[in-house]
A = this chain, B = another copy of it.
Amino acid sequence: MACTVTCIAPVNIAVIKYWGKKDEKLIIPLNDSLSGTLSMEQMHAKTTIMASPNFTKNCMWLNGKEESFGGNARLLSCLKEIQKRAQEDGTSKEILKWNIHVCSENNFPTAAGLASSAAGYACFVYALAKLYKVKGDVSQIARQGSGSACRSLEGGFVRWHMGNASNGSDSLATQVVPASHWPEMHVIILVVNDKKKKVSSTSGMQRSVETSELLKHRVAHCVPQRIAAIEKAIHNRDFPTFAEITMKDSNQFHAVALDTYPPAVYMNDVSHAIVDLIHCFNQVKGCTKVAYTFDAGPNACLYLLESAVAETMALVDYFFPSNNSGNTVQGLPVPPCNAKETVQAIEAVGMQKQDDGLLKYVIHTRIGEGAKELTDSGTHLLSASGLPLRLA
């Protein structure tokens, strides 16, 4: 009698950043943004949703811990919106009356500041759409869970259009190119050790909208040009242009955060040392090999072509050693590389080896596919009676 679906959804990392809402409640952004979707082989959120007439209330478990469902306005709003669409699509009225159990897990550390809420909300909304057999775009619903979640439904490179409608109906995400368009595009995430208390991105961006003069200029003048230029670079597989725009936009987002009052500071000295290393590397190579981008936290996300992965990791291991040696790399294997000459050239332009242990670990991944349903019932996270198979 119960219905169960299990889906997975990817993490996405913006190259043109989302920062600032036009509508706080509907989560309509002040500007378009654009991201790469990361392969789910390395990182994904996985969600099982079961609907049953026997459930006495809606329940939710996140990473094995029960969470309040009724107290989470964004969760409820996503559920309500999907159910509304289901009714319009003629879904059986029966199932829409049933309560649901939701069980969700990330296969990567939630606390690492790796945009886990985007993958989580994308997965939740995608799974609900499967459960209720909703057709068409659901990115405008995922957006209302966590803005950037709308970009995690599709693979490849994805653009979130701010839209014009005051109800947000045209603020949705569309695929720019599929992952197969640029299969050489890889991503290295450097997870930085950090103990600083953070300004949440929700409150940080709200404060920026209220106080940053520079944000207005960014939104009106800088982003529209950059979105057009980076889309073109992606279509042309023009890595140097893609990389330069990506780095400039990351810097500008953090500049706006700093122009906020009180300032919102997300990068730390280690983040800035990574920026220095990338600029030195590109400089000594005479061409742009790697781009960095930073979200609302100190971790670096490096976009680079597969051909640059081995040397980049050798440089990271040299300049940011762990136990005086290499870092722990999760994900895709990294080929060995002798980067001695490049190390010397980088030291010659003034970059110094950093203290030991500044990085926690490293993830090597690539651009991948969008959210999908897992049809093998062995993958469900809930038992037949609707309880989590694993608890924390």
- Against B, the Cβ 8 Å flags (1 = close, 0 = not) of A121-163 are 0000000000000000000000000000000000000000000
Docked CA distance A214–B14 (Å): 20
* Residues on B with beta carbons closer than 8 Å to the beta carbon of A262: 247, 275, 279
Interface centre among A211, A244, A254 (most CB of B within 10 A): A254
- CB proximity to B under 8 Å, residues A232-277: 244, 247-248, 251-252, 254-256, 258-263, 265, 268-269, 272, 275
**Residue on B nearest A196 in the bound complex, by CB:** B269
Known: A272-B265, A275-B262, A279-B262. A255 touches B214 (CB 8 A): yes
Q: Nearest chain B CB to A103's CB is how many angstroms away? A: 33
Docked CA distance A221–B214 (Å): 10
Docked CA distance A92–B244 (Å): 59
Known: A197-B350, A213-B217, A217-B213. A251 touches B263 (CB 8 A): yes
Known: A197-B350, A213-B222, A217-B213. A259 touches B265 (CB 8 A): no
- Against B, the Cβ 8 Å flags (1 = close, 0 = not) of A174-218 are 000000000000000000000011000000000000010110111
Known: A197-B350, A258-B258, A275-B263. A252 touches B222 (CB 8 A): no
* Residues on B with beta carbons closer than 8 Å to the beta carbon of A260: 251
A258 touches B269 (CB 8 A): no
Docked CA distance A278–B256 (Å): 20
Interface centre among A218, A268, A272 (most CB of B within 10 A): A272
Choice from B248, B259, B350 contacting A261 with Cβ under 8 Å: B248
Q: Nearest chain B CB to A39's CB is how many angstroms away? A: 29
**Residue on B nearest A213 in the bound complex, by CB:** B222
Docked CA distance A232–B247 (Å): 39
**Residue on B nearest A195 in the bound complex, by CB:** B352
Known: A197-B350, A213-B217, A217-B213. A255 touches B247 (CB 8 A): no
Q: Nearest chain B CB to A38's CB is how many angstroms away? A: 25
Interface centre among A244, A252, A256 (most CB of B within 10 A): A252
Q: Nearest chain B CB to A377's CB is how many angstroms away? A: 46
Known: A214-B217, A214-B218, A221-B213. A259 touches B252 (CB 8 A): yes
For this complex, 7 residue pairs linking A to B, each with C-beta atoms less than 8 Å apart, are A197-B352, A213-B221, A214-B255, A214-B259, A255-B256, A262-B275, A263-B272
Contacts A251-B261, A265-B275 aside, 10 further interface pairs with beta carbons under 8 A come to A197-B352, A211-B248, A213-B221, A214-B252, A214-B256, A217-B217, A248-B261, A255-B255, A263-B275, A269-B269
